[in-house]
Amino acid sequence: MTEERTATGSGLTDNLQQGRWDAATYNTHFSFVWEFATDLLSVLAPQYGERVLDIGCGTGQLTAAIAEAGSTVTGIDNDEAMVSRARQNFPGVDFAVMDARALTYANEFDAVFSNASLHWMRPPTPVVVGISRALKPGGRLVAEMGGQGNIRSIVASIRRCVAAAGYGDPGSRSPWYFPDIPSYTTLLKRHGLNTAMATLFARPTPLNGGPDGLALWLDMFAGAFFERVPPHAKPTIVNAIVEELQPTLYHDGQWVADYVRLRIIATKPP
């Protein structure tokens, strides 16, 4: 498999190391991010005339689906390239570049929606404070994010292989926050949101790209762990991660990531 793969760094931009996302690659290779969220949209059940805020909208597919339901939706993302691609994809939909840790909306939205994004936004408290303030009384939060145990084997392997190559344990560089149910619902409660439903469940997620799927995923999302690794050393480390995870996560030409989702519905009291 090593020979078949494209080693990371040879073709793709190392997005996070450069502090930005490769929106074009995300748009074409990571469609599973929004394709898996169809049922989350039915939990949101956006209504005609409702105002909805979509946090971490990426390239805009779910924001556009919410708009199609007749809601007035704003999609926000902190990455300019993502928002620019979202605007290109869906010219009639409202998108803005915004840091969800510094929301300034007050009592404006019937619903706040977020898919596969909140785990990137650290620290989580200002995000929750902003969501709570942005909702109208009686409004709802419908969100799904990586939860406790998410990509446990991938993170462990990255840490092991980077350390084994002599660059130290990059664990403290993790850009992610994968909470358990009690910590997140307590945080919500502390900031005025009552949890109506919280569930943590495994969602093994097939990655696009065949034998290259894991390397593509690492290149798109895991750049922070490689900050101390010189570019020439990265392909060998990625190969080691791929070799190490192959017996557990690669089956019949398909990588399947060990995703765990935390799904939340919470409401702001009327």
Question: Does residue 116 interact with ligand BEZ by CB under 6 A?
Answer: yes
For residues 121 and 135, which CB has a smaller minimum distance to ligand BEZ in the complex? Answer: 121
Residues 56-115 that bind ligand BEZ (CB under 6 A): none
- Read off the tokens for 197: 């439903």
Q: Using CB under 6 A, which of the segments 81-89, 126-134, 146-154, 231-239 binds ligand BEZ?
A: 146-154
Judge contact between 52 and 110, C-beta under 8 A. Answer: yes
Name the 3-class secondary structure at 85: helix
Nearer to ligand BEZ among residue 68 and residue 227 (C-beta): 227
- Amino acid (1-letter code) at residue 119: H
Asked if 146 is part of the footprint of ligand BEZ (rule: CB under 6 A), the reply reads yes
By CB under 6 A, tell whether 151 contacts ligand BEZ.
yes
Measured CA to CA, the distance from residue 98 to residue 75 in angstroms comes to: 9
Q: Please report whether residue 32 would count as binding ligand BEZ according to CB under 6 A.
A: no
Q: What is the DSSP letter of 226?
A: G
6 versus 174: smaller Cβ distance to ligand BEZ: 174
Alpha-carbon span 71 to 109, nearest angstrom: 11
Cβ distance to ligand BEZ smaller for residue 37 or 53: 37
Work out whether 213 is an interface residue with ligand BEZ (CB under 6 A).
no
CA atoms of 118 and 78, how far apart (whole Å): 12
Residues 113, 167, 250, 259: which binds ligand BEZ (CB under 6 A)? 259
Non-local CB neighbours of 214 within 8 Å, separated by 6+ positions: 154, 207, 241, 242, 245, 249, 250, 255, 257
**Cα separation, 221 vs 134, whole angstroms:** 29
Is there binding between residue 221 and ligand BEZ (CB under 6 A)?
yes
Cα 51 to Cα 49: distance, rounded to the nearest angstrom:
7
- Residue closer to ligand BEZ by CB (options 78, 150) is 150
Q: List residues binding ligand BEZ (CB under 6 A).
A: 116, 119, 146, 150-151, 176, 221, 259
